[in-house]
Amino acid sequence: MAKRESTFINMVVTLLLVTGIAAASLGYVYELTKGPIAEAKLKAQQEAITKVLPEFDKLGNSYKDLKESGGDSLEFFPAYKNGELVGTAIKTYTKKGFSGFISIMVGIDINGNFSGFEVLEHAETPGLGSKMNAWFKNTEKPNQNIIGKNPKSTKFKVSKDGGDIDAITASTITSRAFLDALNRAYNSYKKEE
Amino acid sequence: MSQWKNFSKGFIKENPVFVLLLGMCPTLGVTSSAINGLGMGLATAFVLVMSNIVVSLVKNIIPEKVRIPSFIVIIAAFVTVVQLAMQAYLPSLYKSLGLFIPLIVVNCIVLGRAEAFASKNNLVSSAIDGLGIGLGFSFALVLLGGIREILGSGKIFDITIYPENYVTLLFVLSPGAFIVLGYLIALINRIKKN
């Protein structure tokens, strides 16, 4: 079969058909994967909440804090055990990371202490800033570990800036950003109370 | 050319990374670990095979002057399929490759094979060419990612080989990618000479 000639009509019709077919098939695939994608996201969120909070048996309705300045709102997930509040998971964020946006799920127990955290999304340098998820949980290094502490009694700043938390070696910017996200969650939590 | 040769040329003789030097952006960007290299390589291989098949099927009904935009639309459609499927069924891999998946659209290997091979050959040859080049690309990415992971974080596929205190961090950062790639290209050239 010889090649179609490049007349104006041929070109327009071809492009129209190619884009039309592509759009239709993508719409179909989108419909197919919409459910699983939402499920996967929800599952990741649920897993993070379970990891950062003390044991609970029921999750209350989530609510959003719209007052916090800085554009995006924080999302709160209160957790109950036998009907009593045991802690609140907060989905917080910072835009000050070495590569911009970082999203973190933090848990705050009823005494106002951080009960855990889980980094949800980040683009920090592998091998440096990406270590934050393990670094700030290291129970053998009390100056790195933030779990069980709260910004009221501990200065939530890196030691270089006069705070009480040791920054990740060679990743001060990531560490500052991390603490920024935690402070944002804590301040917003206090206001909600 | 026999089909076997057609398939195997992607590994050494016409390896897209080591010989053709195409698609350098994802190559250098994602290979901080072997698993990232594998995921990126296989995603690209899938897109290559599918777009090669479709392009070889429609090559005669597409007028010469609009062939490039048509090929790009076809490639972009398959990339979006990969992106949606990965988001739905492999969310953790999607998280680490996220940004680079949409970039497969502009990966010159894919358009290069569509233009140089699939638009001139029949369906079977084109599919085999796509598979060979795609797996060759995966092979190169895993090799590069594996070496960088071992030197830079003391692990391979997340299995620790030696303690983290002795690693050379440079290798998981961008300069490490260039250094390892340079040595690998030298090595491949040496092998090809013999």
DSSP B42-62: HHHHHHHHHHHHHHHHHTTTS
A7/B81 Cβ within 8 A: no
What are the tokens at A130?
């990406």
Average pLDDT over residues A153-173: 83
State the pLDDT at residue A20.
93
Nearest to A124 by CA among B181, B173, B166, B147: B173
State the pLDDT at residue B183.
92
- Ordered by start, the domain boundaries in chain B are 3-146
* B21 has pLDDT over 80: yes
10 Å CB burial of residue A71 (0-12, 13-18, 19+) is: exposed
Query: Any CB–CB contact under 8 A between B126 and chain A?
Result: no
10 Å CB burial of residue B62 (0-12, 13-18, 19+) is: buried
What confidence category does residue B34 fall into, taking pLDDT thresholds of 50, 70 and 90? Answer: confident
Q: Is the whole-model pTM more than 0.80?
A: no
Greater model confidence, B184 or A1: B184
Average pLDDT over residues A6-34: 89
A25/B169 Cβ within 8 A: no
Question: Do the Cβ atoms of A88 and A128 come closer than 8 Å?
Answer: no
Average the pLDDT over each of A3-17, A56-70, A169-183, B162-176 and give the range with the smallest value.
A56-70
Average pLDDT over residues B136-154: 88
State the pLDDT at residue A72.
64
What confidence category does residue A26 fall into, taking pLDDT thresholds of 50, 70 and 90? Answer: very high
What confidence category does residue A67 fall into, taking pLDDT thresholds of 50, 70 and 90? Answer: low
What confidence category does residue A1 fall into, taking pLDDT thresholds of 50, 70 and 90? Answer: very low
Chain B, residues 1-60, CB within 8 A of chain A, namely 32-33, 58, 60
Residues 6+ apart with CB under 8 A from A101: A93, A94, A95, A121, A122, A123
What confidence category does residue A130 fall into, taking pLDDT thresholds of 50, 70 and 90? Answer: confident
B87/A6 Cβ within 8 A: no
- Amino acid letter, B110: V
* A185 has pLDDT over 70: yes
Beta bridge partners of A117: A106
B87/A33 Cβ within 8 A: yes
List CB contacts (< 8 A) between A15 and chain B: 66, 69-70
State the pLDDT at residue A27.
93
* A23 has pLDDT over 80: yes
Average pLDDT over residues A173-190: 87
A1/B81 Cβ within 8 A: no
Query: Any CB–CB contact under 8 A between B121 and chain A?
Result: no
Please give the C-alpha separations between residue B117 and each of A5, B1, B19, B59, B120, in angstroms, as whole numbers: 21, 13, 17, 11, 6
Average pLDDT over residues B100-106: 82
- Give me chain B's average pLDDT, please: 85
List CB contacts (< 8 A) between B153 and chain A: 126-127
**ipTM exceeding cut-off 0.95 for this assembly:** no
Average pLDDT over residues B133-139: 91
C-alpha angle A58/A62/A68, rounded to 5°?
Answer: 140
State the pLDDT at residue A69.
52
Please give the C-alpha separations between residue B110 and each of B74, B78, B107, B130, B174, in angstroms, as whole numbers: 11, 11, 6, 8, 24
- Amino acid letter, A101: F
State the pLDDT at residue B135.
92
| Rg from Cα positions in chain B | 17
A11/B65 Cβ within 8 A: yes
Q: Over B132-180, what HEC string results?
A: HHHHHHHHHHHHHHHHHHHHHHCEECCEECCCHHHCCHHHHCHHHHHHH
Question: Do the Cβ atoms of A148 and A165 come closer than 8 Å?
Answer: no
What are the tokens at A40?
């996967």
Average pLDDT over residues A41-45: 84
